[in-house]
Structure 1
Amino acid sequence: MPVAAQEHAHAGHDHAAMHGAPASAPLQAAVSGDWRSAANAARDQYRHPLQTLEFFGVQPQQTVIEITPGGGWYSEILAPYLRGQGHYVAAVVDPQALPAGGGRDYQQRTRDGLEKKFAGAPALFDKTTVVAYDPAAPVLGKPGSADVVLTFRNVHNWRASNQAEGMFRAFFAVLRPGGTLGVVEHRAKADVPADDKSGYVGQAQVIAMAEAAGFKLEERSEINANPRDTKDHPNGVWTLPPSNTHDAADDARYKAIGESDRMTLRFVKPRP
């Protein structure tokens, strides 16, 4: 078992014990599903989807919005898990909200790829909704319509684009009172400036952003921690797997480190 998995130590109390049971059979079945790509499943040792979704308290009857799912790594788990009783919403950047150029083209390719993935496997994704939002004025759905909002390794991008505050306000607006915001992000050693290029963010900074939007930190976890990550790589987090932006001669070195050290934070939207 990887070090990060061994160091699954929650602050306060154990989430599974709090809910009176280990991870549900449906969640385990979704993580173990043979429809998941081999490349995606190979990253479970670093991303710990079973423990992460359990920690966030995701239940099969909930409406869950994932922010910018990228290639659909978590979609392969969440969509089938929620398909029977709940609702999986993939929130993507609206390419038409961006000026013409490379940024718009990238977001269009990303959206097209995700929608092609969904269309190609209706047994998994036929009940999935794709919501496109303007990152400068994000609206993710009807106010109070979601039970859970999840974001994986996105905060550094929003900070660099001066969009983080607006995104966290959008999360707060779309969640029902008592709803959950789950955040996983590359963790810096300390606070970093907004224009930092490393991809890492200070944990205290993420907590402060969420609290400024109205959230309350409920619990933090070390599920996705990696103490081998020294966080001083020449190309930031992208030096490490899965990006592997490094010289071939250094491959063994960075493979031994594994993926980045990550914070895992669970926030709640307070009830009135």
Structure 2
Amino acid sequence: MNRLARTALVATALCLPLLPLAAQHADHAAHQAADPIAAAIAAPSRTPANVARDQYRHPADTLAFFGVTPTQTVVEYSPSGGWYSEILAPLLRDHGRFYALQPSGRYLDGYKTFLAAKPTVYDKVTLVAHPDEAATIPAGSVDTVLTFRNVHNMVMAGSEAATFKAFFAMLKPGGTLGVVDHRLPEDRDSALEKSSGYLKVSTIKRIAQEAGFEFVEASEVNANPKDTADWAKGVWTLPPGLSQKEVDRDKYLTIGESDRMTLKFRKPAA
């Protein structure tokens, strides 16, 4: 074998191990293209502390259950620190539209800071102050409204009826309202809903139905049977709040985040 042939043979042999790796990269790219929610969850712009909470918040299964797609117009009510916005913004950036409907107050300025920190990721997020600017979202223009762990705040403030009516107005006929919140067992005293951070499933169903929504279905994707929902200091006793600081910290970390209901409602079709 001459020198030229040996060189070609060595070069070919060196390239062979790279082929499976290249195929793996191609498969990974194809998977993310086929599952845009997975790609958004894997976005490098997400903060590590938020990624660590995926085990409790199950974003892939939750967004899939609510039927969110990259081409939709989506409203997230009260995104606060931006946990779900880190996923929804890249998911909707190129082919959809994302409104962040943030209540006026201390979290509004914080959310502006959150958006400004990564302008190449959040440049197409439309921030809308609620209730002052909610009417700027055109009536009947939204495919999906999402609210994560916020209805208990509405109930404690007495604003739930007006807020759900606003959701109803902005949704298209047939549009989806997706709700996740801390779950209070049905046999508990309803007075706890004003102080504990937990709500009964029946309470949220009633609020939604009084606003005109139809209940579609529930998912147990965010359930946690370890949470007994009877903490003296309410849901904030558990992570991520850990309001008791070092008192029984390991116990609460072992329990994990709260038991949560995941409910899908629909605005009736015209």
So what's the TM-score if we normalise by structure 1? 0.83
Matched position secondary structure for 1:91: strand
Using CA pairs under 8 Å that are at least 6 residues apart, name the structure with larger relative contact order, 1 or 2: 1
Matched position secondary structure for 2:194: coil
**How big is the shift at 1:230?**
0.7
Alignment partner of 1:126 is 2:136:
no
CA–CA distance in 2 between the matches of 1:259 and 1:176? 33
CA–CA distance in 1 between the matches of 2:256 and 2:191? 25
CA–CA distance in 2 between the matches of 1:90 and 1:77? 13
Alignment partner of 1:163 is 2:150:
no
Matched position secondary structure for 2:248: helix
**How big is the shift at 1:195?**
6.0
Q: AA paired with 2:164? A: F
- Percent identical among aligned pairs is 49
CA–CA distance in 1 between the matches of 2:123 and 2:239? 31
Matched position secondary structure for 1:112: helix
CA–CA distance in 2 between the matches of 1:263 and 1:139? 29
Alignment partner of 1:87 is 2:85:
no
Q: Which residue of 2 aligns with 1:70?
A: 80
Unmatched tracts of structure 1, length 5 or more = 1-22, 95-106
Task: Name the structure where helix makes up a greater proportion of residues.
Answer: 2
CA–CA distance in 2 between the matches of 1:90 and 1:214? 23
**How big is the shift at 1:141?**
1.7
Unmatched tracts of structure 2, length 5 or more = 1-32
User: Does the CA-based 8 Å contact 1:138-1:166 persist in structure 2?
Assistant: no
The counterpart of 2:140, out of the listed 136, 139, 144, is 144
User: Does the CA-based 8 Å contact 1:140-1:170 persist in structure 2?
Assistant: no
Matched position secondary structure for 2:60: helix
From the superposition, tell whether residues 140 and 164 of structure 1 become closer, same or farther in structure 2 (CA, over 3 Å): farther
User: Does the CA-based 8 Å contact 2:152-2:193 persist in structure 1?
Assistant: no
**How big is the shift at 1:196?**
2.3
User: Does the CA-based 8 Å contact 2:128-2:134 persist in structure 1?
Assistant: no
Structure with max Cα Rg:
2
Alignment partner of 1:49 is 2:46:
no
Q: Which residue of 1 aligns with 2:29?
A: none
CA–CA distance in 2 between the matches of 1:54 and 1:47? 13
User: Does the CA-based 8 Å contact 1:91-1:140 persist in structure 2?
Assistant: no
Q: AA paired with 2:146? A: L
**How big is the shift at 1:140?**
6.4
Superposition pairs of residues 1-272 of structure 1, within 5 angstroms: 24-94=34-104, 107-108=105-106, 110-134=107-131, 139=135, 141-190=137-186, 192-193=190-191, 196-272=194-270
